């Protein structure tokens, strides 16, 4: 059996709100290997956890996150927004890895500065990067590993073999350590091509146990899920089955 994939807990882990301490703590308590969250930057260059730039304020109005300083933002919210620095402190204490899903290129420089200042370049990597963003990340954050989010338009418009080879070539050219792929697009031939190009394959966002088993059997390097408890249970089942098989053979 292939080594079981790394367990990546998606923000919103175990039904907790996205971008919350509760989600992070649930992932750490369960023993997930990686925690994933979305990263943006405030007007004063503070990396924070947020998916969208458009944000709802406590008075019911909406504004652009990027147009407010952290102090202005928190003064307008009912609950203070989580900063990346606070979350990275928890990640470091737990000895885990964080997947920084970059939602805007304007956050690259501030993220790079923060990660380097905290001495955590080996405990994070970037995702959310199309080819152009991955190339820019190589300039702004050369010390941080990055995944290439594959161009799914090419998989829709090209034969599968051509699309997967193009994705591998772009990943290498952009200096990425692997590809980040929606799990529905993964086939055994993609796994073979990725390995042949010296890349890793990370997949997102998986809900059903049968899909988790199938992807683990393919040999993907990481599975992202909002239900890491289910993925950890699948890992236990597969490892137990493998042990029983080995015992029977011996």
At residue 127 the predicted structure's pLDDT band, cuts being 50, 70 and 90, is very high
Asked if residue 72 has pLDDT above 70, the reply is yes
State the Cα–Cα distance between residues 63 and 71, nearest whole angstrom.
14
* Neighbouring-strand partners of residue 230: none
- Per-residue pLDDT reduced to its tens digit, 191-238: 999 999 999 999 999 999 999 999 999 999 999 999 999 999 999 999
Asked if residue 1 has pLDDT above 80, the reply is no
CB neighbours (10 Å) of residue 103?
A: 17
Q: Pairing state of beta strands 54-56 and 62-64?
A: antiparallel
State the Cα–Cα distance between residues 163 and 174, nearest whole angstrom.
16
State the Cα–Cα distance between residues 107 and 245, nearest whole angstrom.
49
- Own/partner pairs for 136-145, CB < 8 Å, 24+ apart? 136/105, 136/108, 137/102, 137/108, 138/174, 138/175, 140/108, 140/109, 140/112, 141/108, 141/109, 141/111, 141/112, 141/115, 143/112, 143/115, 143/116, 144/111, 144/112, 144/115, 145/176, 145/177
State the Cα–Cα distance between residues 148 and 197, nearest whole angstrom.
14
State the Cα–Cα distance between residues 2 and 213, nearest whole angstrom.
11
The full length of the chain comes to 250
CA–CA distance from 243 to each of 42, 130, 219, 239, 240 (Å)? 50, 40, 18, 6, 5
Asked if residue 177 has pLDDT above 60, the reply is yes
Per the prediction, the chain carries an average pLDDT of 96
- Per-residue pLDDT reduced to its tens digit, 32-58: 999 999 999 999 999 999 999 999 999
Which two tokens mark 131?
């080819």
At residue 172 the predicted structure's pLDDT band, cuts being 50, 70 and 90, is very high
pLDDT of amino acid 242: 83
pTM of the model: 0.96
Asked if residue 250 has pLDDT above 60, the reply is no
Q: In 3D, which of 38, 43, 85, 46 has the Cα closest to residue 64? A: 43
pLDDT of amino acid 245: 75
């Amino acid at each position: 059996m292939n080594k079981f994939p790394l367990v990546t807990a998606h923000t919103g882990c175990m039904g907790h709100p996205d971008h919350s301490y509760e989600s992070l703590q649930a992932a750490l308590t369960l023993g997930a290997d990686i925690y994933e969250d979305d990263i943006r930057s405030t007007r004063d260059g503070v990396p924070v956890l947020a998916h969208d730039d458009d944000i709802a304020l406590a008075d019911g109005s909406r504004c652009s996150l990027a147009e407010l300083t952290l102090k202005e933002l928190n003064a307008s919210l009912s609950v203070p927004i989580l900063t990346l620095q606070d979350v990275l402190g928890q990640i470091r204490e737990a000895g885990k890895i964080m997947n920084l899903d970059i939602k805007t290129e304007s956050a690259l420089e501030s993220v790079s500065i923060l990660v380097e200042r905290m001495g955590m370049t080996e405990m994070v990597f970037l995702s959310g990067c199309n080819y152009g963003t991955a190339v820019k990340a190589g300039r702004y954050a050369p010390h941080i590993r990055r995944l290439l989010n594959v161009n799914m338009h090419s998989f829709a418009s090209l034969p599968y073999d051509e699309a997967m080879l193009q994705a591998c070539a772009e990943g290498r050219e952009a200096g990425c350590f692997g590809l980040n792929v929606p799990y529905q697009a993964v086939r055994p031939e993609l796994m073979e091509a990725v390995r042949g190009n010296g890349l890793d394959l990370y997949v997102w966002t998986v809900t059903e146990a049968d899909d988790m088993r199938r992807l683990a059997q393919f040999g993907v390097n990481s599975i992202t899920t909002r239900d890491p408890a289910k993925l950890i249970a699948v890992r236990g089942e597969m490892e137990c089955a493998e042990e029983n098989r080995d015992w029977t053979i011996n």
